[in-house]
Structure 1
Amino acid sequence: MLEPIGPLPPEIYWRRRALAIGVAVVVVVLFVWLISSLGGGDSPETANTAVSADVTVPSAAPTSAAIDTGVPGQNNTDSTPSAQQSSSPATTNGQQPVAVTPGQCADQSLAVKATVEHPTYRVGEKPKFGLVITNIGTTQCERDLGAGQQLFVYTIDGATRLWSNTDCYPPTDPLIKSLKPGEQALYSVDWSGTTSQPECQGERVAVGPGAYTVVAQLGAIKSTPEPFNIG
């Protein structure tokens, strides 16, 4: 049965058989080599994976430590402020914040001006001064215009304080006034033309002829000096 049968010469059939056997051998060899290659590659890949895992796991530790220490400047979205921290008032430079009464006129919302009825007075006359307080803000507000309302007389250069309306007659009762935007409160004071000191200390002396200025003040708000003369 191994003898080739057919119309062609026998050597032709032998060559075809040899070629088929050779191809089959090559295929088997390639298959064995491929299986061997795949089986031997498992170890390096596994080793690389293990090394990669060793490097990745420690990297999580610094991140966790940074959150736990609460370093300033780092955001920790998982943390929750304690009740003690939440109830503590905010401070500025270690000091408690100053409470602001709702509806009260802030200093920056008020303007203060001093006025003089006449530019010149004779010696012995009583100059009449005015104090004008204007709400320059955009909302209605109220302010105590009594206790902090003051007028001062200085020499023309402002170097010497001569008199204040609160030295001998300090205000005792509050005077709460509500001011709309642009609304003014006007007050007038007569000056005796004599000097005075805080708490009405010392002798009161009549001032002589010369040039002077008067300054109005409400709390910490001061007006510009208004000049007048005594002659």
Structure 2
Amino acid sequence: MSSFRHPVGPQKPGVYWRRRATVAGVILLIVIVVVLIVVGRGNGAPAAESSPSASPSASSSVRSSAPSPSASSAPSSGSASASPSASASPSSSSSSSSSASGSTCSKNQITLKPVLDKSAYGPTEDPKIAMSIENTGSGSCHMDLGSSQQVLTISSGEEQYWSSKDCQTGGTNQDVTIKAGQTLTTPAIAWDRTRSSTSTCDSSRPSVTGGGASYHLQVAVGNISSKESAQFILN
């Protein structure tokens, strides 16, 4: 201890004290560095989260399909027969509807015709009935061909026996463009050879007379009716 307090050597004691102070300072600096390294590793600041850049999603362009000449039938509740509605996709843009579809179809440019699969039917055969819609004008036009607008009626003489409207529920509206010279034909639906009325929708219906009886099919869309009916025989 005496040598530590009173350095022994050829030089002055102050030289030895300065050397000891330098060594002690270096040791202290090393200790501080080590402590900082240890503490820094234990309490390291988390890396900053990089916010991902949003990549723009490509917008898909939807094309509107062209009206199909065929039509799909919409079944009516309580009846084996249904009022058909033309299957056609509406215009994708309402603002350009009038220019793309033309004007509203008039009575003068639309011809409706009743369509039958046969002219005479056997005792167990049900008539398949439909209608054709032809644009006889010089330009395209559009009209409502939804099931709420279409009517098929069957009569004999002055008496009406059946109508697709009697028990129809959930009629739809569908604006369809018809090109000049184009004919749309609804799919055939079966008439079950029974009388219809609004009071027989949930009950059995009486069968109509066969044995060579003559009947007529007439069709209409909105305020446009077929000029002629189609005659057929039930045997």
1:184-225 deviation per Cα after TM superposition (whole angstroms, max 9, x unaligned): 111122111111014656862111211111101112222111
Task: State the alpha-carbon separation in 2 of the partners of residues 166 and 195 from structure 1.
Answer: 13
Contact persistence 1:124–1:193 (CA under 8 A)? no
Stretches of structure 2 lacking an aligned partner (at least 5 in a row) = 1-97
Match of 2:207 in 1: 206
Task: State the alpha-carbon separation in 2 of the partners of residues 211 and 112 from structure 1.
Answer: 21
Q: CA deviation at 1:142?
A: 0.8
Stretches of structure 1 lacking an aligned partner (at least 5 in a row) = 1-100
Q: Which runs of 4+ in 1 moved over 4 A?
A: 199-203
Match of 1:195 in 2: 195
Bigger radius of gyration: 1
* Counterpart mapping for 1:27-176 below 5 A: 103-146=103-146, 147-155=148-156, 157=157, 159-170=158-169, 172-176=171-175
Structure 2 CA distance for partners of 1:199 and 1:185, relative to 1, 3 Å: farther
Count of residues in correspondence between the two structures: 129
1:230 aligns with 2:234: yes
Write 1 or 2 for the structure with the bigger share of strand. Answer: 2
Structure 2 CA distance for partners of 1:198 and 1:137, relative to 1, 3 Å: farther
Match of 1:79 in 2: none
Percent identity, aligned pairs only?
24
TM-score, normalised to structure 1's length?
Answer: 0.52
Contact persistence 1:151–1:164 (CA under 8 A)? yes
Structure 2 CA distance for partners of 1:199 and 1:175, relative to 1, 3 Å: farther
Match of 1:40 in 2: none
RMSD: 2.0
Q: CA deviation at 1:170?
A: 4.2
Task: State the alpha-carbon separation in 2 of the partners of residues 213 and 117 from structure 1.
Answer: 13
1:186 aligns with 2:159: no
2:115 match: secondary structure:
strand
1:144-197 deviation per Cα after TM superposition (whole angstroms, max 9, x unaligned): 111211110000x2x000001121124521122111111011112211111101
Contact persistence 1:113–1:216 (CA under 8 A)? yes
1:51-103 deviation per Cα after TM superposition (whole angstroms, max 9, x unaligned): xxxxxxxxxxxxxxxxxxxxxxxxxxxxxxxxxxxxxxxxxxxxxxxxxx872
Contact persistence 1:123–1:208 (CA under 8 A)? no
Match of 2:218 in 1: 215
Report which stretch shifted further, 167-176 or 139-148: 167-176
1:105-133 deviation per Cα after TM superposition (whole angstroms, max 9, x unaligned): 12222110001101111223210012000
